[in-house]
Homo-oligomer: A and B are copies of this chain.
Amino acid sequence: MTYSKDMTTQQHTTTDAGLASELRLAVMRLRRRLATERHPDNDLSLGAMAVLAALCRRGEMTLGALADFERVQPPSMTRTVNCLEKGGYVARRPSDTDRRQVLIAITDLGRVTVAADRERRDAWLAKRLGGLSADERAVLRAAVPIFERIANE
């Protein structure tokens, strides 16, 4: 394997091979940037808010389904749900059909919190998005479902 100038010094990606690396690093950095934009008004972590948003959109889910969806192991999700339950953002109930399963549902407080969080974060990100051209926003809008697909494959 040779290390040509292109491979080590290029600014943007023009090849499919480079795309994977570039995308990976870009996603990492953007995620860290988003994580540091912290919220003052509630005590929930980024991960907890993501779970809340999932429940808000998809309705009641089992703990296992939530763990799969968020790509974490069940013990991690138990921890997150404990945190959310203690704050009154979600409620647990045993499944009627299989009493090993636990169904998690969002509460009214949870819904309000999701809406407020979305508004606040959108304000931050939207400010950045506002600096983009219409074409660039279109790129991001198109990228979202592709990301979902890759992540869930």
Contact = CB atoms under 8 A, between A and B. Distances in A.
A7 interface: yes
A1 B119 contact: yes
Interface string A117-136: 01101101110110110011
Contact of A141 (B2, B13, B111, B125): B13
A8 B114 CA distance: 9
Instruction: Choose among A121, A135, A151, A153 the residue with the greatest number of B CB atoms under 10 Å from its CB.
Output: A151
17 contacts: A3-B115, A3-B138, A3-B142, A7-B138, A8-B142, A9-B57, A10-B141, A10-B145, A13-B141, A20-B118, A20-B124, A27-B34, A29-B70, A128-B153, A129-B150, A139-B139, A139-B146
